[in-house]
Amino acid sequence: MMDMISLLMISVPVGFIGSLTGLGGASILIPLLVFFGVPVKEAIASAMVSVVATSSGSAAAYVRQRLANLKIAMFLEMFTSVGAIIGAMITTWIAPVYLYFFFAAFLMTSFVGRTAKGPTEAPAPGKGGEALAAWLALEGRYFDESTRETVVYRARRPLLGGLGMMVAGLAAGMLGIGAGAFKVTVQESVLRLPAKVASTTSNFIVGMTALAGTSVYLGSGLLNVTLMAPMAVGSTIGALAGGRVLNRLGGRTLRTLFFSVIVLLIVQMLYKGVVSW
Amino acid sequence: MVREGPGGGTGNEERLERWISYLLIAGVLISLLLEVAGIVLYALASGSDAVSQGAAVFVRGRNFFAFLARAFYEVARGPRGLHLMLLGCALLILTPYVRVVLSAAYFASIRDFKYLSFTLFVLVILTISLLCH
């Protein structure tokens, strides 16, 4: 079993990467913990606190820089939380094996047609749902420090995006994962939000989703304080740093980081799918 | 300062954004201090900073609010390392919840009933999920 200082050190880069990509970071942290000898179930339960730390630690900076969109976050969170509840109820109906493959396939779509474009450029507007998006005020603007430009955006296809987020919540509820990657992809590909808005808004939502799972873990008795506290400290430090640098980073850097983690996740999902076949 | 949204509508959530960022920074820093103090005290008392598997380090609770109340109670009885870590984690986990409560208060104060109802919906679901398991 490892010591608390090493655990803290490991959590710093996880919080940093998690806050920059909007993925939460549990999917990176859990395999690391298991590698260092932490029992799997304990690692899964305790990683929840690291996700909250990553989300809250960087969100302050993202909100102040107007990167994270609070209205979009609240609108989407409605769908995610309903999805998570349905997911938790129907776990017994659908074999998770299909979900792993579905999840992997969905993540692969985030590569399609998105290689030439820098993520900080405003994406090509999609068609449809414009009146609804305007009524919901799913819009905003932010100053991009890497390009020195003000980016103005409005979400497209809010209903389809909401459905996508419900599926993300469903996957989260059934598989016990945060599904942050799924959420970022929905916001980029369906809602057509600029990449920095998508990842920071997802970062915001991931914190709420992780919170919703707390009582389940409390009931399980698997939460280990000597695991949680150093992980929380490390993730918070990493996330505070991530929150300060994200807006200054160029599109290429963020894109490379995001896709490296996505590749890792696809491999993980496929592996889990094959193993539970 | 009033900012114009792209459709001519105002996207002015500046006040809410300020509230939330102060709240998050405060919550995160307080829990960080408690956790660090807890880790140091715990390591000094037990003579090692190894991650423990002893029964005392595992938290169990009926629900999150009971867990939070217990963390406060234990620290009030005498701040031991383990309890400070526990309270730090509990407060950290609380930050996203308070954030939703604050958003609801804000949307109520500006009479944005559309977003007030969205936020209350999320708040109810979160509260239910925190109350039962």
Rg (CA), chain B: 19
Residues 93-112 of B with CB under 8 A from A: 93, 95-97, 99-100, 103
Is the pLDDT reported for residue A114 higher than 90?
A: no
Q: What pLDDT does residue A13 have?
A: 94
Q: What is the share, in percent, of chain B residues with pLDDT greater than 90?
A: 38
Number of H helices, E strands in chain B: 4, 1
Kindly list the residues from chain B whose CB atom is less than 8 angstroms away from the CB atom of residue A8: 39
Instruction: Looking at the complex, report in whole angstroms how far the Cα of residue A138 sits from the nearest Cα belonging to chain B.
Output: 9
A189 vs A15, more confident:
A15
What was the ipTM of the complex prediction? 0.86
Kindly list the residues from chain A whose CB atom is less than 8 angstroms away from the CB atom of residue B132: 215
Kindly list the residues from chain A whose CB atom is less than 8 angstroms away from the CB atom of residue B18: 64
User: Do the Cβ atoms of A64 and B17 come within 8 Å?
Assistant: yes
Q: How far apart are CA B32 and CA B117, in angstroms?
A: 33
Mean pLDDT for chain A? 83
Q: What pLDDT does residue A92 have?
A: 63
Q: H or E element: which one contains A265? A: helix A251-275
Calculate mean pLDDT across residues A183-187: 87
User: Do the Cβ atoms of B7 and A223 come within 8 Å?
Assistant: no
A275 vs A13, more confident:
A13
CB-nearest partner of B118 from A3, A78, A215: A78
Is the pLDDT reported for residue B8 higher than 50?
A: no
Site of tokens 């930050």 = B95
Residue type, B111: R
Q: How far apart are CA A71 and CA A60, in angstroms?
A: 15
Calculate mean pLDDT across residues A136-158: 88
Instruction: Looking at the complex, report in whole angstroms how far the Cα of residue B68 sits from the nearest Cα belonging to chain A.
Output: 11
CA dihedral B59, B62, B67, B70 (to 10 degrees): -100
pLDDT in tens, A167-177: 888 877 776 66
A168 vs B31, more confident:
B31
Kindly list the residues from chain A whose CB atom is less than 8 angstroms away from the CB atom of residue B20: 59-60, 63, 70
Tell me whether residue A114 is exposed, middle or buried, using C-beta atoms within 10 angstroms of its C-beta: 0 to 12, 13 to 18, 19 or more.
middle
Is the pLDDT reported for residue A30 higher than 50?
A: yes
Is the pLDDT reported for residue A47 higher than 80?
A: yes
Calculate mean pLDDT across residues A116-133: 57
pLDDT in tens, B53-98: 887 888 887 788 888 898 899 888 887 899 999 999 999 999 999 9
Q: What pLDDT does residue A7 have?
A: 92
Instruction: Looking at the complex, report in whole angstroms how far the Cα of residue A226 sits from the nearest Cα belonging to chain B.
Output: 5
- B65 in contact with A, Cβ within 8 Å: no
| Range in A25-29, A119-123, A148-152, B81-85 with the lowest mean pLDDT | A119-123
Q: What pLDDT does residue A125 have?
A: 52
User: pTM of the prediction?
Assistant: 0.86
